[in-house]
Structure 1
């Protein structure tokens, strides 16, 4: 068990990874594109949600929380870009490394939990409308729900706040940030198991199962009804959300679990595949604003008004003060809803 970087030598496969310049450049370019689209798209989305959308329904509150996590990722990615372009060399100190890493993880798992909350909100509104209409203090519950999500994520990720996540590699003359983890980051193998399983099962797998159940139930419910254009759009959107959730978040978390098990017990590694999966997880933050546009008539109308592109179609000329949600033909109660799926950056090598 390594206590410091000078007492442990990395294997050749790991050293080769840090010397792979082409992969680092490719990942950096992808992150640059993600950052640009993220900040522009989510910045505009946040402005519309905060200042141009009223009233603030539970769905809007969840969407604001989700957009906030996307923007957090967008502001953190430039640090990762600089780190990659410098050949995996971190120069901003241990506290900044811990802060940026925590921001990445918090973004990913808060996005996943928020998507679950949106899925539950839609499930209740579409599949259980009578019970849902009787619910009181929905806005208050949504705000409390967002606070609980952040509290849960931060409690699971607490070790990242109290640990030096940098690691010196003298033979390469670099200092990594959260790419090589010391075993003594946690006091025992049991603590490592609890940390890993909490991230993968509590913060990913359980929300994924709940989200899948909710959207599959919504699709089945809408499929039994008449085929209006609005309902068909809702069904297509539900499929897209599940697809994005699966493509963006599932590979990253599965590879995180696989890599850690391989590293700890079999002296092998799946780190390169894991590193590449981070790119897919970040793409989620770019897709969200486009999902808003195609999912919500109100959001679409507000954006077109800003860009002076107001449609002359009869569908887009419906008065905006009704604040129709995506499922307004199915639900008679308030329901402006925005679709999301998001993520962030993760760790990786565990020293022997």
Structure 2
């Protein structure tokens, strides 16, 4: 987004970016990797969440919502790849440009808000389990929250839905898509300031602060408990979420604010750095399945069953448990005298084992 005037004259830095083949190829390669990991990882995740996980708790609803937005991004990125490999020439018209741009940015900000919602759900379940028990268990509340997220994001991004985001550059004879925005997209600088403030502070900084507070409080709460496994998972989940915020979302939003201020007030540009930061923002869709793994015990158990990683149903693990036991369990039998009286434990299925959330 260069925020240029209504004339077609661009600054040299932006023009050089459009002519830099190496940059466009490098970004396209990153997007190709993201698409492959995104579609495989999130396709597998949505199958587990929709068809193998029950009941649909609020956390599962949030994860389904996050997975669907990630899959939408994975479906939209091939168009961005083709656009860049064709030398930033957009051939699909302004409506398709607006639609795909909206998918790109709604994925980013809906992901941020959904991670905040998952963090709040963890906070309510661990720190305030009794006070918010009824609210937290209502699946309808999670569904309504997802619709509210979309309402907030689409309200902030409304200018992108009502503007022709294509731009013809006569110097290069190309038509770009969302790489050049006119200053008259919004009526005045106050409107630009409100648009920028809403994107950076309302859709990024505020959710980030809430998420950090929730996970720090959860970790402090679990630190005094004896459930070390649960504490380790909570710490890993917090680390993954903070990594996504720090390395995927923060650079893009900071550079967005920096570039827009430079263009509006100083006629300078940081667009090349901002363009590269968009690659980082897409990586979140590859990391989200790890969030599901550490945030949902049901998802964890179903995944272990599918990939044959049952913690207790493995023959090797049960043999070891029986061997280390000092007392003979009534569920253990002797399997043949010619096998040195090896014991095999008949353990229940991992799907029947429940651990605290």
Cross-structure match for 2:326? none
In structure 1, C-alpha distance between the alignment counterparts of 2:139 and 2:292, rounded to whole Å: 20
Given the superposition, is the C-alpha separation of residues 14 and 79 from structure 1 closer, same or farther in structure 2, using an over 3 Å criterion? same
Unaligned runs of 5+ in 2: 322-346
2:164 is aligned with 1:167: no
Residue 300 of structure 1, CA deviation = 3.2
Cross-structure match for 2:201? 201
Residue 17 of structure 1, CA deviation = 0.9
2:60 touches 2:296 (CA, 8 Å); kept in 1? Answer: no
CA RMSD, aligned part only?
A: 2.1
Secondary structure at the aligned position of 2:204 is classed as helix
Q: 1:86-113: CA deviations, max 9, x gaps? A: 1111111000000000111111111111
In structure 1, C-alpha distance between the alignment counterparts of 2:354 and 2:64, rounded to whole Å: 16
Cross-structure match for 2:328? none
2:179 is aligned with 1:179: yes
In structure 2, C-alpha distance between the alignment counterparts of 1:30 and 1:64, rounded to whole Å: 25
Secondary structure at the aligned position of 1:17 is classed as helix
In structure 2, C-alpha distance between the alignment counterparts of 1:295 and 1:152, rounded to whole Å: 25
Given the superposition, is the C-alpha separation of residues 45 and 137 from structure 1 closer, same or farther in structure 2, using an over 3 Å criterion? closer
Cross-structure match for 1:320? 351
Residue 183 of structure 1, CA deviation = 0.8
Equivalences for 1:1-352 in 2 at 5 Å? 4=6, 7-135=7-135, 138-226=138-226, 228-311=228-311, 312=314, 313=317, 319-321=350-352, 324=355, 328=356, 335=357
Aligned length: 324
In structure 2, C-alpha distance between the alignment counterparts of 1:136 and 1:3, rounded to whole Å: 49
Cross-structure match for 1:347? none
In structure 2, C-alpha distance between the alignment counterparts of 1:236 and 1:323, rounded to whole Å: 20
Cross-structure match for 1:345? none
Higher relative contact order (CA 8 A, sep 6+): 1
In structure 2, C-alpha distance between the alignment counterparts of 1:295 and 1:96, rounded to whole Å: 36
Q: Please, what TM-score do these two structures have when normalized by structure 1?
A: 0.87
In structure 1, C-alpha distance between the alignment counterparts of 2:354 and 2:59, rounded to whole Å: 12
Given the superposition, is the C-alpha separation of residues 166 and 137 from structure 1 closer, same or farther in structure 2, using an over 3 Å criterion? same
In structure 2, C-alpha distance between the alignment counterparts of 1:320 and 1:120, rounded to whole Å: 27
Residue 246 of structure 1, CA deviation = 1.5
Q: 1:39-88: CA deviations, max 9, x gaps? A: 11101101110111000000000110011111111011111101111111
Residue 225 of structure 1, CA deviation = 2.0
1:222 touches 1:235 (CA, 8 Å); kept in 2? Answer: no
2:8 touches 2:168 (CA, 8 Å); kept in 1? Answer: no
Residue 303 of structure 1, CA deviation = 2.6
Secondary structure at the aligned position of 1:164 is classed as coil
2:73 touches 2:103 (CA, 8 Å); kept in 1? Answer: yes
Given the superposition, is the C-alpha separation of residues 189 and 317 from structure 1 closer, same or farther in structure 2, using an over 3 Å criterion? farther
Secondary structure at the aligned position of 1:135 is classed as helix
Q: Please, what TM-score do these two structures have when normalized by structure 2?
A: 0.85
In structure 2, C-alpha distance between the alignment counterparts of 1:3 and 1:232, rounded to whole Å: 53
